[in-house]
Amino acid sequence: MTARPLLIGLFTGLCLTATSLAAETLPKRWVSAGGSLSEWVVALGGESRLVGVDTTSLHPASLAALPKIGYQRQLAAEGILALKPDILLGSEEMGPPPVLQQLRAAGVRIETLSAKADEPTVQGNLLRLGELLGTPDQAKQVAEDFQSRIAAQAAWVKKAQATQAAPGVVLLVGHAGGNLLVAGQDTSGDWMIQRAGGRNLASHKGYKALSTEALTALDPQVVVLADRSLDGDAARAALTRQNPGLAATRGVRDGRVVILDPTLLVGGLGPRIPDGLASLSRAFYPSVQALNSEGRP
Amino acid sequence: MTRIVAARPLFLLLGFLLLLVLWLSLALGPVSLPLGDTLRALARLIGLPVSGDGLGQAELIIGQIRLPRTLLGVATGGVLALAGVAMQGLFRNPLADPGLIGVSSGAALGAAIAIVFGASIGGLPEAFAPYLLSACAFAGGLLVTALVYRLGRHNGQTSVATMLLAGIALTALAGALIGLFTYLADDATLRTLTFWNLGSLNGASYPRLWPLLLITLLVACWLPRRVDALNALLLGESEARHLGFDVERLKVELILCTALGVGAAVAAAGMIGFIGLVVPHLLRLIVGPDHRVLLPASMFGGAILLLLADLVARMALAPAELPIGIVTALIGAPFFLYLLMRGRS
């Protein structure tokens, strides 16, 4: 009776030694403090290694079951240590710095990857994640796919703009139709509008509240609405109910209010970006044949 | 108001409670450590010759995370409650709060400036950058308090009523400026600002701790020397003057202690409301208005309440953390209401 557990123990012990030799430097227990970074880890097959995520990691939905470490700029050292992570992944916004120092002192590897919204950053991040996950080939493939879809998107926009002028767009981030913030220059929203082939009519910097009158004066042909609490037609209805003045704009009058997932706008570019761009483009250029999910028209 | 509890048993009880929460604060956390490890790590921290085999993690968690955090909690809670006693004594009003003389709003303004514009201030020495926020908050609190004091002075006299009104006006002004910075801030900055306004003992480290400990010690040594004057002030300003106390000097000292103490606490832990208002008030309901008892009891009470709140803050949502300002109000407000209702019946 006593020999069997001993043998099993010995066997598992051997197995563990064998695997740890093979993957000695690869971190096994991951905590991710960045929405799009978590998504990429999952896309690269590392979901089973995640033991905790921050409050911005909402996609894919299966991450909801993991322990939540809170907001990326307000991390708690001991809470994270309780998850016994080998690595903490996050963007340059991760903090506060004393907590990161404490974690580093406790032997947790801190990997900071940029959340900048541009393609070279995504490429670099993916290759680095591939190294850390031990799946460099898969990472290379995913990075190439992402790049080719972005390139296909750009080519498609160029073609579409030959047949139709770029529409003037405003992108609104709101809450149940109210408290609207308009995406200005140098924002993730602005990047999305441009890559989808639109012209951002807002000239201010950052996300700012504009008066309904100022919005009406911009007279956008398409309104992109990223509502944090409502989706689809409910969001559209709430927008016009809360801001009756907007009914005077071309976009609302012609029914060209496009719904965008607000989580696409925060934390850098994630794997859902190409699909998001394609659906925006479809709304910007309704008469041009849309791109499918392989990036081909 | 009559005393419910005599001084000696009260201090015994408060001392026991403080030791208890100190122990809990060192022994409990999201990482569960065996009792033996905690004890050994503590023993090693105070230099006892105990073997440190297999203690790596425990020593780090106790020494670098929980101990600075606990000390920060004791100092912050204690000094905020002391400042509350000083202000309630100065204004002769149990509803007075350190915020009245502008120290909190000034600190908040300083912090908002540091948070929103900190990144764009170039040429700062690398070593100073992490302390910019604390330094700005501390300076902001002192500056606005100095301004409030200056506005309250006329012909060599300090009018407490004018100071109160000046404090309200400057708090509104600071609020407007903070609102303006909030408008200019981007999303991430905004969240930092919000969290700062709720306070936290998270990320406590020794370099941030020493200035606060020093100031707390100073205030805790200074204010008890003025308990007789504070008691006399309860009778009224001119009565205190006739009893032979230098009231003008007392006012300056009370304001200075409050500005320094609250400024340092806020700089180290962010805005933690409620302690300064409620702890002295609550203890006054229990021990009566005699500052000889009230002052030290409030210091103990503030430290105990803040450490308890921090235990909840770090455990409730682990591995995430709750801002401590939320917890102090959640624990304190219902207890305060209970005492109020009981006192009435």
A5 touches chain B (CB under 8 A): no
What is chain B's Cα-based Rg? 21
- So what's the pLDDT on residue B327? 93
| Cβ distance of A82 and B31 shorter than 8 Å | yes
| Cβ distance of A81 and B317 shorter than 8 Å | no
The count of other CB atoms within 10 Å of the CB of residue A96 is: 20
Most confident residue range from A11-20, A235-244, B241-250: B241-250
What is the distance in angstroms between the Cα of B212 and the nearest Cα belonging to chain A? 17
- Residue A20 above 50 pLDDT? no
Chain A residue numbers with beta carbons less than 8 Å from the beta carbon of B192 are 73
| Cβ distance of B65 and A78 shorter than 8 Å | yes
In tens, the pLDDT along B169-206 reads 999 999 999 999 888 887 778 888 888 889 999 888 88
Query: Nearest by CB to B31, which of A55, A67, A81?
Result: A81
Query: Nearest by CB to B320, which of A69, A77, A105?
Result: A69
- Residue A3 above 60 pLDDT? no
B179 touches chain A (CB under 8 A): no
Burial of residue B288 (CB within 10 Å: 0-12, 13-18, 19+) is middle
| Cβ distance of B195 and A106 shorter than 8 Å | no
- So what's the pLDDT on residue B99? 86
| Cβ distance of B205 and A68 shorter than 8 Å | no
In tens, the pLDDT along B14-69 reads 999 999 999 999 999 999 898 888 999 998 888 888 877 778 788 889 999 999 99
A104, B36, B126 from A114: Cα distances, Å: 19, 42, 21
Chain B residue numbers with beta carbons less than 8 Å from the beta carbon of A114 are none
Q: Per-residue pLDDT averaged across A263-285, rounded?
A: 92
| Cβ distance of A76 and B66 shorter than 8 Å | no
Percent of chain B having pLDDT more than 90? 61
| Cβ distance of A67 and B319 shorter than 8 Å | yes
Percent of chain A having pLDDT more than 90? 65
CB-facing half-sphere around the CA of A132: CA atoms within 13 A = 28
Given the DSSP bridges, would you call strands B157-158 and A207-208 parallel, antiparallel or unpaired?
A: unpaired
In tens, the pLDDT along B110-160 reads 999 998 887 776 666 777 777 888 999 999 999 999 999 999 999 888 899
- Residue A176 above 70 pLDDT? yes
Name the DSSP class of B131.
G
- So what's the pLDDT on residue A73? 86
Which B residues in the span 21-40 are in contact with A, Cβ-Cβ below 8 Å? Answer: 29-32
What is the distance in angstroms between the Cα of A67 and the nearest Cα belonging to chain B? 7
Closest C-alpha among A88, A191, A186 to residue A132: A88
Q: Per-residue pLDDT averaged across A195-209, rounded?
A: 92
In tens, the pLDDT along B58-98 reads 888 999 999 999 999 999 999 999 999 999 999 998 888 88
Q: Dump the DSSP string for B69-127.
A: HHHHHHHHHHHHHHHHHHHHHHTT-TT--GGGGTHHHHHHHHHHHHHHHGGG--S--TT
Three-state SS for B188?
A: helix
Given the DSSP bridges, would you call strands A199-200 and A168-175 parallel, antiparallel or unpaired?
A: parallel
The count of other CB atoms within 10 Å of the CB of residue B298 is: 32
Q: CB–CB of A181/B186 below 8 Å?
A: no
- Residue A37 above 90 pLDDT? yes
- Residue A5 above 60 pLDDT? no
Rounded-to-integer distance, Cα A296 and Cα B17, Å? 70
- So what's the pLDDT on residue A21? 40
Chain B residue numbers with beta carbons less than 8 Å from the beta carbon of A80 are 319
**Model ipTM?**
0.82
| Cβ distance of B187 and A207 shorter than 8 Å | yes
Chain A residue numbers with beta carbons less than 8 Å from the beta carbon of B204 are 98
Nearest CA in chain A to B322: A70
Calculated CA dihedral for residues B232, B236, B240, B242, nearest 10 degrees = -140
Chain A to chain B Cβ contacts (< 8 Å): 90
- So what's the pLDDT on residue A143? 96
